[in-house]
Amino acid sequence: MARRLPLIVVLILLGWMFWSSPTLAGIASGVAVFLFGMMALEQGLRGLTGGTLEALLRRSTDRLWKGLAFGAGTTALTQSSTLVSLLTISFLSSGLLGLKQGLGVIFGANLGTTTGAWLLAGPALHFNIGAGALPLLTFGVVFILARTRVLRALGWVLVGVGFLFLGIQWMKEGFETFQQAFDLTEFAMTGLSGLLLYTLVGIAATVIMQSSHATLIIVITALAAGQISYDNALAVSIGANVGTAVSTGLAAITTNTAGRRLAAAHLIFNLVTGLIALVFIQVFLSAVDFGSRWLGIADDNHALKLALFHTLFNLTGIVVMVPLMGRLVSLLEKRMPSKPLHLDQPKYISSNMLETPGAALEALRRELLRLFRRAFSLIAQVLNYEAGQLRKAESRAQLAALPNRIRFVDIDALYLRSIKPLHGLIVNFMARLSVEGDRARQLVLLRVASQDLIEAVKDAKHLQKNMVRYLKEADSPMGKEYRSMRRHLGHLLRQLDQLAAEEEGNSEDIELELAALSTRIEENDIVNNGRLDELIRTNRINAEQATSLMNDNAYTNRIARNLLNMARAAFQPFAELDPDLRDAIVLNPGEVRALLADLNTPDSHEEKTDP
């Protein structure tokens, strides 16, 4: 009930406005249309960019100034700092960004919000922009009905802009009409009490509407109509700035610790910025008056002066907070430490990422790597390796060495405890993730990869019985063959584990390594290389043993193939390698053998050294 109370209050208030006054109903409808326009514009820009914003975010964070520019530019384009903040939180949660990089984007986004105030206070108030809304809405709907994704996205952009124009016009006309019947300036408050009260009004309005732009457009239209005093309007703009950080914080509750740290940093930044604006309000007022004269803004043009004030205090916040960024990161990491995850908890994926497909796919890939490491540990135990020792093994002798005691592990219990819960979360996340085009193909690859990993674990269960039996008879002919299978699988696991840890590895090098491992699997297949026939002809194994060895050889090959298939899909970020290029550079075993043979010939070495 407590959660629904704000909604109930808003519904009651709206009902009273529609019942009591057509003018108030027109203002409320203008706000609603404006908010719907922002949602439509956001949806259209998401589809129109086709992941461009996400790609730019990944490339724009290696320098602080790039992050600031990206945050400011993208917010100016989308007119939604909340969208940019949530996109940044998703990338941070998926491990694509560091906290310091994310802070740069968030700081820039705050500056980008000021462009909306300039647009609203300038052209929007001096022209009948509502006249341009109907053509935009008409053409937008026509484009939305098209089958092409780009045209549909463009249609949503046009519809969004059309509703923005219409909402602004309705609010402007509503306040102008309302002025004739009622003067809201009677409720104006001066001094510290007015400053604090209207700041709280700005915070509340932004949290309710989930948009600082909507709060600003209401204030600017009311200010232009003389329905709010200039001083109170400044206080509301300060509150709107703080309120947008509160909205981001509420949205980040469902993210992991990294996302919550960024949301906390956003709130701290906006609180500090707002506090500076409140404490030094007279200094800012003097700066606004000076800047207005320099820019040629009339003394009575309070709307543009509000936009200038909004820009100045956000810019001041960046100047103050950027030098303190390192300390802020340290403070957040200390106060909000990463909590140990339970086996049934994801580390990267969360429901809020479903709106950002690029970050969601990368988070899904990284979660799959966590699942691989669990499968690595389980299969290592089946082979009677200690996971830590297997990772450190560097020689064939270390891989061949048997433990003092051969153990039989309960694979079903390990699977139910460490594999199945995380795999279930991954499958659930995949089912809810909606993507198109190349990303749909990437999702399919990851879905197949997760299934390949589970199949490898299940085949390990079938392999264990004879593996444990014959490892105890290590010097027998069968024991030697199972020791060989164990060594080959151990080598494969170790190599894959090393590749999985190379987050910044070269894609072509990884593909070449995987192709080489695939070739080695083929060479060690005792059915295809004639080893099984030799053991039977020389009477070193009987018919029953030959059947067991052939079956377990098949299990071993399936485990290896499934692990390799999983690695091809999950060991490199998709943005690093186009799917078509990925297919083109995958080498088959024959190509790998030819390449290795060429590298080992004297002529090839001479060619390499020839300038």
Residue boundaries of the structural domains of the chain: 28-329, 351-609
- 107/324 Cα distance (integer angstroms): 12
Q: Can you give the pLDDT at residue 478?
A: 94
Q: Can you give the pLDDT at residue 602?
A: 44
The pLDDT confidence band at residue 2, using thresholds 50, 70 and 90, is: very low
For 234-248, what is the mean pLDDT?
A: 82
For 389-400, what is the mean pLDDT?
A: 86
For 511-538, what is the mean pLDDT?
A: 90
385-390's contacts with Cβ under 8 Å and 24+ in sequence apart are 385/490, 385/493, 390/490, 390/493, 390/494, 390/497
pLDDT in tens, 330-356: 888 888 887 766 767 888 888 877 877
Q: Can you give the pLDDT at residue 125?
A: 54
Among 501-510, 542-551, 586-595, the range of highest mean pLDDT: 542-551
Q: Is 603 exposed, middle or buried, given 0-12, 13-18 or 19+ CB atoms closer than 10 A?
A: exposed
Given a cut of 80, whether residue 277 has pLDDT beyond it is yes
Determine contact, residues 308/286, Cβ cutoff 8 Å. no
Q: Can you give the pLDDT at residue 610?
A: 33
pLDDT in tens, 413-427: 999 999 999 999 999
Give the whole-number percent of the chain exceeding pLDDT 90: 26
The pLDDT confidence band at residue 135, using thresholds 50, 70 and 90, is: confident
Q: Backbone phi, then psi, for 17, in 5-degree steps?
A: -65, -45
Helix, strand, coil shares, percent, the chain, to 5: 80, 0, 20
Given a cut of 60, whether residue 189 has pLDDT beyond it is yes
Q: Can you give the pLDDT at residue 539?
A: 92
pLDDT in tens, 281-328: 999 999 999 999 988 888 888 888 888 998 898 899 899 988 988 888
Give the whole-number percent of the chain exceeding pLDDT 70: 80
Q: Can you give the pLDDT at residue 250?
A: 63
Q: Can you give the pLDDT at residue 219?
A: 83
Determine contact, residues 237/117, Cβ cutoff 8 Å. yes
The pLDDT confidence band at residue 157, using thresholds 50, 70 and 90, is: confident
Q: Can you give the pLDDT at residue 207?
A: 79
The pLDDT confidence band at residue 60, using thresholds 50, 70 and 90, is: low
Amino acid found at 43: Q
| Lowest-confidence region among 117-121, 307-311, 396-400 | 117-121
- 487/493 Cα distance (integer angstroms): 10
Better-predicted residue by pLDDT, 237 or 49: 237
The tokens for 336 are 């909000």
Given a cut of 60, whether residue 587 has pLDDT beyond it is no
For the chain, give the mean pLDDT: 80
Q: Can you give the pLDDT at residue 56?
A: 66
Better-predicted residue by pLDDT, 60 or 543: 543
- 426/420 Cα distance (integer angstroms): 10
- 216/196 Cα distance (integer angstroms): 17
The secondary structure of residue 11, as a DSSP letter, is H
